[in-house]
Amino acid sequence: MRQKSNATRPRLLLSLAAIILVGCVSTATTNQGNGSFNQGNSSQNNGGSASQLPPTNAQPPSSGNAVQSGNNGQLPTLQTKPQPVSVNFEGCPAGGDGGDHQLNMLKNRTDSVPWYPVSVASILNLKWPPSIQQRQRQTWSQSDAAVIARYEGTPIQIEGYLAGAKQQGPESTNCHAVDQVDNHIWVVDDLSKDRTQSIVVEVTPRTRALHPGWAFSRISPLVDHRTKVRISGWLLMDQEHPDQIGKTRGTIWEIHPVVAFDVLQGNRWVSLDTGNAVPQSSGPQALVPTDDPSLPAPIVDPKDQEANQATPIPSHTSGTAGEQPLHIGPLAIVDIFYRGANKPNESDEYVEIENTGNSPVNMSGWSLHDVYSSDAFTWNNFTLQPQKRIRVYSNEQHPETGGFSFNSSRAIWNNAGDAAELVDANGVIVAVYGYGNKR
């Protein structure tokens, strides 16, 4: 079985905790003319400054994918906000192993609620006291902390384009793990803009573990393809990087962590994770988060004493995954045989795909991917008949099941956990299948 650096990394439990009221946020304001407050990119003025918003009467949150009527893309001023929910991950506490403990706790939150759609410009125009810059939160004055608390922790959603994406190195937030790092992404509201006018959004190991399709290898191409994206997550002040304003970012306000990640395909939004269409809706009946609820329940580090009981890793003696397929349309990945008997390269591993419908499906141009590596198989000229199954082996050919093979000289599917996705000829993910610690 091929070993990967994250092979034994289990998934954390997504705590869909009840929203806890944490008291009224200070009504301190940041006046436009007050020279004691910085703002991000001063060239961004078309979205309305947050200081123009009323301090109270906030609208109730919209659904995860609907535009909040009357919000006009501006940041709401919420009297109360959800208290962050954070859990241990891989033995790393939510506060990390050093640095700013309070900041790390916010970066490592895992909760999800409905989001307020806001404009990129409204975040770029949001101010902060310069006295907090590059200072740990425990040293902030009460008045400075109140100014930040007015907007920090607001659940928001933005639309835009990726001006860049990078895998970060080890840091205190993630206990300096070398294989569990943040994905650092720059979002702009227009393709003509660069990182100097961007908002930084970050995908953390804790949230990425819940989403097999958020591998960096799938995020990076969105930059080159100039794909429109929709990012949902928590507004955060990262006071550590003011020196980068005007160079690699437009503000030190961030969306951190990212909790939902959608991409625009044609005229509809689809989940980057599953490829499923995300419905556009509004109203009280739609007050649900966009965190891909169709995914199987996650599992959690057994060392984590704060979370609920974990979903056990399956222990099938046959070596098959034994999970439930997730798919749109008739084709589904129904099994992955990952414990190959032919050692050491386990050439007899396979992925099994079924046409569950009543009509043939032309799979020409379709591909099968290992989410956690670059391994892929593509069909050139093949039609899968209804109610029939095929297999794609790691390095064997069996004509009775289609004769398909990755022709890999090494094992592909990780015994501890892995995930596969089936992508149609238009690049739409139509089926996903995860097992073990990658469900």
Output the tens digit of pLDDT for each of the chain's 439 residues: 443 333 333 333 222 222 222 233 232 333 322 333 443 333 333 333 332 222 222 222 222 333 344 456 788 888 888 888 877 888 899 999 999 999 999 999 988 888 889 999 999 999 999 999 999 999 999 999 999 999 999 999 999 999 999 888 889 999 998 888 899 999 999 999 999 999 999 999 999 888 888 888 889 889 988 899 999 999 999 999 999 999 899 999 999 999 999 999 888 888 888 777 665 444 433 333 344 433 333 333 333 333 222 222 233 333 444 454 567 789 999 999 998 899 889 999 999 999 999 999 999 999 999 887 889 999 999 999 999 999 999 999 999 999 999 999 999 998 888 888 898 888 878 888 888 755 5
Claim to verify: residue 278 and residue 345 sit in the same structural domain: no
Separation between Cα atoms, residue 296 and residue 224, nearest integer Å:
31
For residue 1, being part of any structural domain is answered with no
For residue 358, being part of any structural domain is answered with yes
Claim to verify: residue 174 and residue 42 sit in the same structural domain: yes
| Among 236, 262, 286, residue at a domain's last position | 286
Separation between Cα atoms, residue 152 and residue 218, nearest integer Å:
29
- DSSP lists the bridge partners of residue 336 as 351
Residue-range definition of the domain harbouring residue 189: 38-286
Contact yes or no for 100/137 (Cβ under 8 A): yes
Q: SS3 of 158, please?
A: strand
Scanning 310-425, the segments in alpha helix (DSSP H) are none
For residue 16, being part of any structural domain is answered with no
pLDDT number for residue 113 = 80
| Among 231, 255, 286, residue at a domain's last position | 286
- DSSP lists the bridge partners of residue 158 as 231
Claim to verify: residue 60 and residue 173 sit in the same structural domain: yes
In 109-227 the beta strands, taken as DSSP E runs, fall at 116-117, 127-128, 155-167, 183-188, 199-203
CATH for 371: 2.60.40.1260
Q: What share of the chain is helix, strand, coil (3-state, %, to 5)?
A: 15, 25, 60
pLDDT number for residue 75 = 86
Claim to verify: residue 254 and residue 348 sit in the same structural domain: no
Residue type, 93: P
For residue 12, being part of any structural domain is answered with no
Claim to verify: residue 281 and residue 361 sit in the same structural domain: no
Claim to verify: residue 355 and residue 256 sit in the same structural domain: no
Q: SS3 of 130, please?
A: helix
Claim to verify: residue 278 and residue 338 sit in the same structural domain: no
pLDDT number for residue 30 = 32
Claim to verify: residue 431 and residue 382 sit in the same structural domain: yes
Claim to verify: residue 244 and residue 334 sit in the same structural domain: no
Separation between Cα atoms, residue 180 and residue 206, nearest integer Å:
9
Separation between Cα atoms, residue 124 and residue 252, nearest integer Å:
9
Claim to verify: residue 281 and residue 332 sit in the same structural domain: no
Q: Would you state the torsion angle of the CA atoms of residues 229, 233, 239, 244, taken in this order, to the nearest 10 degrees?
A: -10
Claim to verify: residue 135 and residue 274 sit in the same structural domain: yes
Claim to verify: residue 87 and residue 219 sit in the same structural domain: yes
- DSSP lists the bridge partners of residue 201 as 185, 255
Separation between Cα atoms, residue 391 and residue 335, nearest integer Å:
9
Number of helices followed by number of strands (H, E) in the chain: 6, 20
Least Cα distance to 233 among 389, 388, 116 occurs for 116
Q: SS3 of 380, please?
A: coil
How far is C-alpha 353 from the chain's CA centre? 27
Instruction: Provide φ and ψ at 236, rounded to 5°.
Output: -135, 140
For residue 72, being part of any structural domain is answered with yes
| Among 254, 286, 318, residue at a domain's last position | 286
pLDDT number for residue 17 = 29
Q: What single DSSP character describes residue 348?
A: T
- CA-angle at 299, arms to 294 and 305, nearest 5°: 135
Q: SS3 of 62, please?
A: coil
Show Cβ contacts of residue 70 under 8 Å, excluding neighbours closer than 6 positions.
59
Contact yes or no for 424/430 (Cβ under 8 A): yes
For residue 19, being part of any structural domain is answered with no
The greatest distance separating any two alpha carbons of the chain, rounded to the nearest whole angstrom, comes to 75
For residue 26, being part of any structural domain is answered with no
Number of independent structural domains in the chain: 2
For residue 379, being part of any structural domain is answered with yes
In 168-280 the beta strands, taken as DSSP E runs, fall at 183-188, 199-203, 228-237, 253-265, 268-271
Least Cα distance to 411 among 338, 316, 336 occurs for 338
Q: What single DSSP character describes residue 253?
A: E
Show Cβ contacts of residue 329 under 8 Å, excluding neighbours closer than 6 positions.
357, 361, 430, 431
Separation between Cα atoms, residue 28 and residue 129, nearest integer Å:
12
pLDDT number for residue 1 = 43
Q: Which two tokens stand for residue 146?
A: 């109140």
CATH for 262: 2.40.50.140
Scanning 209-284, the segments in alpha helix (DSSP H) are 216-219, 221-224
pLDDT number for residue 115 = 87
